[in-house]
């Protein structure tokens, strides 16, 4: 199986008053049609990694890599116009919060149709049919009604499902989900992840799931990368997370309270410099 995505020595750099700072420091990964989880705390560079694959890092940020190939295409050599043809159609991204990522003045039906129309020419009936089918696929019960609603008229969980529908309707080869469920309730979270999981399996997509939640990622992915200040500190199979070796990963795992908590104090990661 040839790799869907190959990244070698990816660097994302931002200039600051004290000179350039690397927020991603030489990350390499190869992804087939599988589910990869990237975990880390805020500032670890996990979202920057996701965004740089789609070349969504704005100036003055700079992305460099020895290799950034998606399905044989060198992403760094593409023009903006060529990138637009790739974004959405071949690689798409689910963002964290539906409240901010959906267009508030456009109905849900129109937004999903737009995702489709940007990349294909289709008749009106076709579009409507596919939009309805997609809404059903993300388990929205009453798709006819939801088509005509505006984002503020639906709940957070439903908004997130709408966004997933929008991202999956052009049938991309790679889905990047950046904290797709952290704005949602626990019970809705499980549903949304199951939908993503199901569609990824059925359509044979590649998935990069970016999250700060170690346990969640380990239950939905095949492989896991743990990032810390721009570097990958641990790479392992999801099932092997319990046997993680790096002290940072172990520290993270230990600091999460459990439902049958019996410890009197939670272990805290050693930090350099100031108290947090």
Partner 1 sequence: MNALAIDNLDISYGDSKVTHGIGFNVAEGESFALVGESGSGKTTVLKAIAGMAKSWTGSISVFGEQRTHGIDRGFARQCQMVFQDPYGSLHPRKTVDATLSEPMAIHGMGDSGARVDEVMQSVGLDRRFRFRFPHQLSGGQRQRVAIARALILKPRLLLLDEPTSALDVSVQAEILNLLKRLRREQGLTYLMVTHNLPVVSFLCDRLAVMRHGRVVEIADVGQLKRGEMQDPYSRELTRFSAAHPQT
Q: Interface with partner 1 by CB under 8 A: which residues? A: 41-42, 155-156, 185-190, 212-216, 219, 251-252, 255-269, 274-276
Query: Shortest CA distance to 179 belongs to which of 198, 160, 153, 202?
Result: 160
Give least dist CB 272 to partner 1, A.
Answer: 13
Closest CB to partner 1 among residues 13, 219: 219
Both tokens of 183, joined, read 């704005």
Query: Shortest CA distance to 13 belongs to which of 4, 26, 2, 1?
Result: 26
Which segments within the chain are labelled E, that is strand?
Answer: 5-14, 21-31, 35-39, 62-64, 67-70, 73-74, 91-94, 174-178, 206-211, 223-228, 231-237
Give least dist CB 184 to partner 1, A.
Answer: 8
Closest CB to partner 1 among residues 167, 192: 192
Closest CB to partner 1 among residues 39, 169: 39
Closest CB to partner 1 among residues 84, 152: 152
Give least dist CB 234 to partner 1, A.
Answer: 15
Closest CB to partner 1 among residues 80, 265: 265
Give least dist CB 53 to partner 1, A.
Answer: 23
CA atoms of 150 and 154, how far apart (whole Å): 7
Give least dist CB 35 to partner 1, A.
Answer: 15
Q: Which residue has the tokens 């609603």?
A: 149
How many C-beta neighbours within 10 Å does residue 221 have?
Answer: 23
């Amino acid at each position: 199986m040839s790799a869907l995505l190959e990244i070698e020595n990816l660097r994302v750099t931002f200039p600051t008053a004290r000179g350039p700072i690397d927020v991603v420091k030489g990350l390499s990964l190869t992804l087939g049609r599988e589910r990869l989880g990237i975990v880390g705390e805020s500032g670890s560079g996990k979202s920057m990694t996701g965004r740089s694959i789609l070349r969504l890092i704005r100036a003055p940020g700079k992305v460099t890599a020895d290799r950034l190939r998606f399905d044989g295409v060198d992403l760094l050599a593409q023009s903006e116009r060529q990138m637009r043809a790739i974004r959405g159609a071949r690689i798409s991204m689910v963002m964290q919060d539906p409240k901010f990522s959906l267009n508030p003045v456009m109905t849900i039906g129109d937004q999903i149709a737009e995702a489709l129309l940007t990349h294909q020419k289709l008749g009106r009936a076709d579009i409507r049919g596919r939009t309805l089918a997609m809404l059903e696929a993300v388990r929205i019960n009453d798709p006819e009604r939801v088509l005509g609603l505006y984002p503020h008229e639906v709940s957070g969980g439903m908004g997130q499902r709408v966004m997933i529908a929008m991202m999956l309707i052009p049938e991309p080869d790679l889905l990047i989900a950046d904290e797709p469920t952290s704005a949602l309730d626990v019970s809705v979270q499980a549903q949304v992840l199951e939908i993503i999981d199901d569609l990824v399996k059925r359509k044979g997509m590649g998935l990069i799931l970016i999250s700060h939640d170690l346990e969640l990622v380990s239950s939905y992915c095949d492989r896991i990368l743990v990032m810390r200040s721009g570097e990958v500190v641990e790479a392992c199979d999801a099932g092997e997370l319990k046997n993680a070796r790096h002290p940072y990963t172990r520290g993270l795992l230990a600091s999460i309270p459990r439902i049958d908590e019996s410890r009197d104090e939670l272990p805290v990661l050693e930090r350099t410099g100031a108290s947090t």
